Amino acid sequence: MKLKNTLGLAIGTLIAATSFGALAQGQGAVEGQLFYKKQFNDSVKHIEDGYNPGASIGYFITDDVSVNLNYDTTNHTRSNDGTGNQKIKGDTGSVTAQYHFGQAGVDSLRPYVEGGFGHQSRTNVQADGHSGRDQSTLAIAGAGVKYYFTNNLFARAGVESDYNLDNGKWDYSALVGLGVNFGGNAGAAAPAPTPAPAPEPVPEPEAPVAQVVRVELDVKFDFDKAVVKPNSYGDVKNLADFMAQYPATNVEVAGHTDSVGPDAYNQKLSQRRADAVKQVLVKDGVAPSRITAVGYGESRPVADNATEAGRAINRRVEASVEATAK
C-alpha cells in the first residue's frame, strides 16, 4: 500500500469522526491517528537514522485495551560509511495492543503501554556487488501518553523499542501523533425505561389541595470511571420526565467519589461524573439551563470508605427535585 493512500484514508477518518454530533469513549470505540517517528537505526549496518511518517487505526475491545493496525514508511534515510550515500526506502506494518490508564476527558492525560509484532522491509545498501531488500520480523514494546483536547481529540507522544528477531538487535524510535476516537458503548442507545405504575385513584376532596411531589436520583459509577452505565439510563429518564411534567423546576446534579486517590484528582473526577449525568438529562430533553452540575469530590461520603462496599456506595451522582402538584 502506498503511503499517500494510507495517509489519505487516515485523514478521511479524522474528518469523518469530527463531523459526528456526539462522539463516545470506551468499549467498541474506533481510534484513528496520524504520527511521525524519529527512527534510530541500529540493527542494520550502513543506515543512518531517519524520520518515518505513518498512520494507525485501532479498536477498543474493552474500556482500556485497544488493538491497533499501524503503518509507517522510511523517509529521509540514507546509507553511510562509504556506501555511496544512497537513499533507503522501505516500510513497516505492525499489530500492537495498548493498555490505557485513567479516564479520557477534556484536559486529561492518559498514559499507556503497548506490545506487539511487526514486519519491516527496507532496500539494502548497494555495496560489495549486490543489492536487495532487508526483511525483518520485529517484537515491539513501547509506552507513552495521550493528552485529550476534548473528550475525543487527542495528541500523543511516546517511545518504542523494536527487537529484530532475525539478527537479535534493537532499533528505537520517538514519535508524536494526533488522533480522534468515536463510537463505543458510551454512544449506545439507552434501554426503554420501565413505565411507572399508574397511581391508585384517590377520592376527590371537596376543595383542591396542594400536594408536594418529589423524585430522587442515585447513579453509581465504577472505580475511576465517569461513564453512566446503561442500567442507570431508566432512572435518569424518570427524572427527565418529571422535569418535563413540571417545567418550573430546576435541579442540581451532585457528583461524588470515594477516598481513594488525591483530593484534587477526585474533585475533577466528581465533576466529570456530574457532567456525564447532565449530558444524559439533556439528551432526554431537559434544557441545559435548568441543570447545575457540581462535583464535591470525596468531601461528602454516605458510607464507610474503609470498606470496598462503602467505597462503591460513595462513587455516585445524586439529584433531588420536588414540585407542588395541584
What are the helix (H) ranges across the chain?
3-18, 233-245, 263-283, 308-314
pLDDT of 190-236, one tens digit each? 566 777 787 888 776 666 667 888 899 999 999 999 999 999 999 99
Question: pLDDT confidence of 80, banded at 50, 70, 90?
Answer: low
Q: Is 3.30.505.50 the CATH classification of the domain at 3-186?
A: no
Q: How confident is the model at residue 245 (pLDDT cuts 50, 70, 90)?
A: very high
Distance separating alpha carbons of residues 13 and 15, to the nearest angstrom: 6
What are the residues whose beta carbons fall under 8 Å from the beta carbon of 112, sequence distance 6 or more? 98, 99, 100, 101, 143, 144, 145, 146, 158
Q: What is the mean pLDDT of the chain?
A: 81
Decide the pairing of beta strands 108-123 and 133-148: antiparallel
pLDDT band at 43 (very low <50, low <70, confident <90, very high): low
Q: What is the location of CATH 3.30.1330.60 in the chain?
A: 189-195+208-325
Residue limits of CATH 2.40.160.20 in the chain: 3-186
Q: pTM for the whole thing?
A: 0.49
Tell me the pLDDT band of 130, cut-offs 50, 70 and 90. Answer: very low
Bridge partners, 36 (sequence order): 53, 176
Indicate the pLDDT class of residue 132, thresholds 50, 70 and 90.
low
**Residue 127 pLDDT > 80, yes or no?**
no
Output the CATH code of domain 189-195+208-325: 3.30.1330.60
